Amino acid sequence: MPDDKAPSAPVRSFWSGTITFGLVSIPVDLLAAARARQKSMKLVDDEGHALGRRYYCPKDDKVLDNDDLVRGYETESGKMVVITDEEFESVAPEKSRDIDLKSFVPVAAIPPSFYERPYFLAPDERAGKAYTLLAQTMAKSGKAGIGSFVMRDHEYLVAILSENGMLRAEVLRYANELRTPETIGLPRPGKADAGQVRALGKAIDALSEDDLDMAEMEDIEAQALREFAQRKAKSGKGVIAMETLEDVDDDSAGGAEVIDLMQVLRKSLGARTEPAEAKEAARAHAAKKATPVRNANAAKTAAAKPSAQRSAPNRAPKKDAAARKGPATAKPAARRSASTSTPTKGTASKKTARKAA
Amino acid sequence: MSARAIWKGALVLGQHQVPVKLYSAVQDQVVHFHLLHDKDLTPVEQRIVRKDNGREVPKEAQRKAFPLDAERAVILEPDELDKLEPAADRTIELLRFVPRGALGDQWFDRPYVLGPDDDDGAYFALAQAVDAKDRIGIARWVMRDKRYLGALSVADGYLRMTTLRRAEQVLDLPAIRPDKARTPSDAEVKLAEQLIDSITGAFEPEQWQNEHRERLAKLIDAKAKGSKLRLVKPERKEPTGDLAESLRASLAASKGKKVA
C-alpha cells in the first residue's frame, strides 16, 4: 500500500489519556476534527505596525504582568470575591486521565444540539488491538459510548463514536446548558391544517436530494475575503510583512505539538488506508473543488486537506468557544477580552494561559 | 422563564414562507471571573499597544490585516470590510432536504430553537411536514451582517436550526484497516459486543453533571464567607494486557450489578 502518498491533515494533539470500558483500557491521543474558519485576521495599526494586548490597572496606569493578576468573582450583591490559584486548583477536577465509558447508547439517540466539538481519537502505540476492537464493535452495533473526562482543568461530557475504523469523540453540552421549547416559553404544538402540511410536504419533496452539495457548504465569506485581499495585494497597497503579527481575535494556534495523524495510525495500528480507487476519486474531487471533500457516503476517504494552512488546523472555533467555556475556569491570567474594555467575560489567551500554568 | 428571540426571519421553501423567531438553545453555565490587579483589586483593562514601542493605539488607528501567505499580509480598511458584508435580509433559504445520515456530527456547531412568529398554523404545519419526511433541511441566511449555514430539523414537534461548520472546517481522515496482529478475533468481538450490550441504555444527559463547575460555585460561596479545600493529582492507567481476559472479567462484573 502506498501509504506514504496518503494526504493527511496536520493535527494537534490536545490530550493523551485512556479510554476505559469495563476493565479494558485503551491509551489514546485526542486531536481536533474541526478547525476555525479560514478568515482570521491580524491586528495592526494603520501603518502596518504589529499590535498586541496588554493588561493595565486603570488606577495607576501601569502595565501588569500575569503575576500581578488575581481572579475575582462578582456576587449578585456586587461583592468581589477573590479566588487564589491555590483555591482554584483545590477544586480542579479530581478525575484521572481516563475517559470511562459508563454506558452506551444508540448513536441516533443523541440529539444534534448536544454536539459541541469533534475530535479524533488516535490510538497510542500501546493501544494494540483493543482500539480496533472497540471501533469495530461500536460501528457494528451503531452505538456511542458516553463518559466524562478532564482536559486542561475542564471537565467534559463526551460521546465516543466510531467511523471508518477510527474512534472519534464529540464533546457534548450538559443538559442544563440547553434550552427547550418549554423553557423558552413557546406555545404548545397545535393542530396543523392537513392541506397546509401536504403543500409543505410537496415543497420539501421538490427540494429533496440524496446527498449534500459541497458547493453549498463552502465558506462564502472567507472566500470573498481572501479574493478581495489577493486583489488588493496585486495593486501593492497595504502589503506588510507577517512576522510578529497577532491575531485579531487572539486565536493563535495553541501550544500543542503538530503531528502527522497517518504516521500515528501506521505506527500504532499498522494501519492501511482505503483502496486506491476510492482515494483517487476523493483526490480528483478535492482537486476539482480545491476544498476538502466531506461527503457522508462515497468520499469518506482521504480528502486532501490544504495541509499548507499555517496555523489554522485544530483551533477550536474560537468566538463561540471563548463565550461558552473559555472563561469558565481559566487561570486568572489566562483570560482576555477581545476588545479594550474591561475584560470581564474575556476569552482565554493561550499565550498567557501557558505562562500562568 | 421564557427567553427572548434573538432574530426574526422567514423560512423560504420554494413558494412557501413560514415566519419564525430564532432563540438560542444554549444557556451559558460558565462561572465567569473578572481579572483584578492584586494590589488594589481593581478590575484590569486591556489596551491595544504597538509591540515595538508599547504605545497605546486608539481604536480609530487599529486595522485588520489578512494573511496572504506565511510572509505577507494585506491591510484591509474598514470601508473595504464593510463592502464585503452580505446584504441584510430576513429570509432563511432552504437549499435542499437530505436524509438524516447525510450530515455527520462533525458538521453541527450551535443549536437554536425556532418558534412561530404570529403564524402558529404555518409553523406547526411545517414542523409536521419536516417530521413526516424525516429529512434535514440545509439552510442559508444572513443575520446581523453575517452569513450562516444551518440544518433545519424537528424535535418534540418544534423546528430546530443548528448552525453548521463550513466544508473547509470539517477535517477528514482516511479509513483505517489495522494489520493482522492488531485485528481482534471473533471471540473477542463477541465478548465486546456482549459487554457493550450489558451497559447499553437510553441517552439520559440529565444524569451527567459538571462536578467541577459545581465545586467551583461552592468554593466561591464558601469564600464569600471563608474556608478551603485541597487538590489531587491525576494518573494514567496502564494499557490492557490480555484483552479477552479483561473482556470476560468486565462482563462478569457488569452482570453482577445493574449499570446505569
Q: Could you state, in order of their start, the residue ranges of all structural domains in chain B?
A: 7-28+86-164, 179-199+240-255
Mean pLDDT of A183-212: 95
Query: Is the minimum CB–CB distance between B68 and chain A shorter than 8 Å?
Result: yes
Residue pair A169/A100 in contact by the 8 Å Cβ criterion:
no
Residue pair B118/A227 in contact by the 8 Å Cβ criterion:
no
Mean pLDDT of B36-53: 90
Query: All 3 cell numbers of residue A18?
Result: 485512556
| Residue scoring higher pLDDT (A334 or A38) | A38
User: Mapping DSSP to helix (H, G, I), strand (E, B) and coil, where does residue A5 land?
Assistant: helix
| Residue scoring higher pLDDT (A267 or B56) | B56
> Where does residue B193 fall: left (phi above 0), alpha (psi -120 to 50 degrees), or beta otherwise?
alpha
Does the pLDDT at position B185 exceed 90?
A: no
pLDDT in tens, A97-156: 888 898 999 999 999 999 999 999 988 877 778 898 999 999 999 999 999 988 877 889
Mean pLDDT of A24-49: 89
In A, residues 279-318, which contact B (CB 8 Å cutoff)?
A: 279, 291-294, 296-297, 300-303, 305, 310, 313-314, 317
- Please state, in angstroms and rounded to a whole number, the distance separating the CA atoms of residues B65 and A50: 10
Q: For testing the chain B interface, which of A40, A98, A132 should be mutated: the one with the most B CBs within 10 Å? A: A132
**pLDDT for the residue numbered B227:** 55
Query: Is the minimum CB–CB distance between A59 and chain B shorter than 8 Å?
Result: yes
Amino acid of residue A245:
L
Q: Is the ipTM of this complex over 0.90?
A: no
Does the pLDDT at position A328 exceed 80?
A: no
Query: Is the minimum CB–CB distance between A61 and chain B shorter than 8 Å?
Result: no
- Please state, in angstroms and rounded to a whole number, the distance separating the CA atoms of residues A212 and B138: 8
Lowest mean pLDDT among A81-90, A211-220, B54-63: A81-90
Does the pLDDT at position A319 exceed 60?
A: no
Beta bridge partners of A122: A29
Out of B49, B232, B247, the one facing A51 most closely (by C-beta) is B49
* Selection from A306, A219, A317 nearest residue B166 by Cα: A219
- Which stretch of DSSP H or E encloses residue B244? helix B243-256
Does the pLDDT at position B48 exceed 60?
A: yes
- What distance lies between CA A71 and its chain's CA centroid? 26
- Please state, in angstroms and rounded to a whole number, the distance separating the CA atoms of residues A164 and B155: 28
pLDDT in tens, B148-174: 999 999 999 999 999 999 999 998 876
Contacts of A239 (CB under 8 A, 6+ apart): A233, B68, B72, B73, B74, B75
CA-nearest residue to B111 within chain A is: A113
Number of other CB atoms surrounding residue A149 within 10 Å: 23
Query: Is the minimum CB–CB distance between A248 and chain B shorter than 8 Å?
Result: yes
Which pTM does this prediction carry?
Answer: 0.77
Q: Which residue has the cell 483526490?
A: A283
Query: Is the minimum CB–CB distance between B183 and chain A shorter than 8 Å?
Result: yes
**pLDDT for the residue numbered B218:** 87
- Please state, in angstroms and rounded to a whole number, the distance separating the CA atoms of residues B217 and B227: 13
Number of Cα atoms under 13 Å in the Cβ half of residue A21: 29
Contacts of A178 in chain B (CB under 8 A): 25-27, 111
Work out the percent of chain B whose per-residue pLDDT is above 70: 89
Q: What is the DSSP letter of B117?
A: S
Contacts of B209 in chain A (CB under 8 A): 174, 176
- Please state, in angstroms and rounded to a whole number, the distance separating the CA atoms of residues A45 and B63: 5
CA-to-CA dists, residue B233 to A90, A250, A331, B69, B215, angstroms: 11, 31, 17, 43, 17
Q: What is the DSSP letter of A347?
A: E
Q: Do B179 and A270 touch (CB under 8 A)?
A: yes
| Residue scoring higher pLDDT (A270 or B161) | B161
| Residue scoring higher pLDDT (A321 or A193) | A193
Contacts of A174 in chain B (CB under 8 A): 29, 205, 208-210
Contacts of B222 in chain A (CB under 8 A): none
Q: State the alpha helices, DSSP H only, in chain A.
A: 85-90, 128-141, 181-184, 194-207, 220-234, 261-269, 276-289, 318-324, 326-329, 350-356
Q: For testing the chain B interface, which of A39, A87, A345 should be mutated: the one with the most B CBs within 10 Å? A: A87
Residue pair A148/A157 in contact by the 8 Å Cβ criterion:
yes
pLDDT in tens, B68-120: 988 899 999 999 999 999 999 999 999 999 999 899 999 999 999 999 999 99
Mean pLDDT of B114-141: 96
Query: Is the minimum CB–CB distance between A85 and chain B shorter than 8 Å?
Result: no
Contacts of B239 in chain A (CB under 8 A): 18, 25-27, 124, 126-128, 130
Q: What is the DSSP letter of A34?
A: B
Level-2 CATH architecture, domain B7-28+86-164: Beta Barrel (2.40)
Residue pair B136/B98 in contact by the 8 Å Cβ criterion:
yes
Mean pLDDT of B43-54: 90
Number of other CB atoms surrounding residue B4 within 10 Å: 9
In A, residues 97-156, which contact B (CB 8 Å cutoff)?
A: 97-98, 101-106, 108-115, 118, 120, 124, 126-134, 136-138, 140-141, 143, 145-146, 148, 150, 153-155
**pLDDT for the residue numbered A187:** 95
Strands B62-67 and B72-76: antiparallel
- Please state, in angstroms and rounded to a whole number, the distance separating the CA atoms of residues A329 and A252: 20
